[in-house]
């Protein structure tokens, strides 16, 4: 029989196609009837996993105990024997047989011991108090009082007050005048400077600063 002819036989193809259709129909029927679900359940059964624990090695043996300490006892000291003191025997003293001789006794007056008086304490004079940097309450030897300025009279200033510090040399002369307080300001300053520059104070042998206060009052 020719092989090519056999391949072209339509009856053979119809049987193959029919067999394939039958297999598909059985598969569809199995899925619809629940047989396929049982197969899936069997496949989906849980898997049991067994965990194998790691084998731990045994603990190391404990260290050996330390060797016992040797206790060295100090050498015992032998007690030193104490010698007992034996007093010598008493020897009786033989008194002399000669008669005692009484001689004249002269009484002497007791002498008074010479007492040296302690030196008198040296009393030091207290140090002089330090002089202040600015001396207040100084009194002039010579010099006129400042007069009331005419400008203050015209301005109607009834009173005023000026505090000035004076530079005084070794001979008591005023070398400079500095105005510290001026009430009202600059009304009496010129008169105070001109007048106090001619004042003279007691000579102190050194330079110092003196402070004076001058009050002005306009009398009727």
Summarised one tens digit per residue, pLDDT across range 135-175 is: 999 999 999 999 999 999 999 999 999 999 999 999 999 99
Q: Is residue 117 part of a domain?
A: no
Task: Assign 129 a pLDDT band (cuts: 50, 70, 90).
Answer: confident
Beta carbons of 159 and 217 less than 8 angstroms apart: yes
Instruction: Judge whether 83 lies within some domain.
Output: no
Domain span at residue 197 reads 134-217
For residue 10, pLDDT over 80 is answered with no
The answer as to whether 33 is a domain residue is yes
Determine, yes or no, domain membership for 13.
yes
The CATH number linked to 197 is: 3.30.2420.10
Examine residue 57 and state whether it is found in any structural domain, yes or no: no
Pairing between strand 208-217 and 134-136?
parallel
Q: Which token pair is 90?
A: 């008493």
- pTM beyond 0.75, yes or no: no
- Is 211 domain-assigned? yes
> Considering the domain boundaries, does residue 101 fall inside one?
no
Domain count of the chain?
2
Q: pLDDT digits over 66-89, tens only?
A: 777 766 766 666 666 666 666 666
Domain contains 88: no
Name the phi and psi angles at 175, rounded to 5: -100, -20
């Amino acid at each position: 029989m020719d092989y090519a002819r056999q391949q072209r036989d339509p009856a053979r193809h119809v049987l193959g196609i029919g067999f394939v259709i039958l297999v598909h129909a059985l598969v569809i029927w199995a899925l619809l009837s629940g047989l396929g679900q049982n197969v899936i359940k069997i496949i989906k059964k849980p898997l049991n996993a067994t965990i194998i624990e790691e084998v731990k090695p045994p603990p190391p043996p404990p260290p050996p105990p330390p060797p016992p300490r040797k206790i060295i006892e100090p050498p015992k000291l032998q007690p030193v024997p104490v010698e007992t003191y034996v007093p010598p025997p008493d020897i009786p003293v033989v008194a002399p047989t000669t008669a005692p001789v009484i001689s004249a006794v002269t009484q002497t007056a007791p002498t008074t011991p010479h007492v040296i008086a302690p030196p008198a304490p040296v009393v030091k004079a207290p140090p002089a108090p330090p002089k202040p940097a600015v001396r207040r309450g100084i009194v002039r030897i010579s010099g006129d009082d400042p007069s009331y300025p005419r400008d203050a009279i015209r301005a109607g200033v009834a009173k005023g007050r000026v505090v000035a510090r004076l530079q005084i040399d070794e001979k008591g002369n005023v070398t400079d005048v500095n105005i510290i307080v001026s009430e009202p300001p600059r009304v009496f300053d010129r008169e105070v400077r001109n007048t106090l520059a001619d004042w003279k104070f007691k000579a102190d042998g050194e330079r110092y600063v003196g402070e004076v206060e001058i009050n002005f009052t306009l009398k009727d």
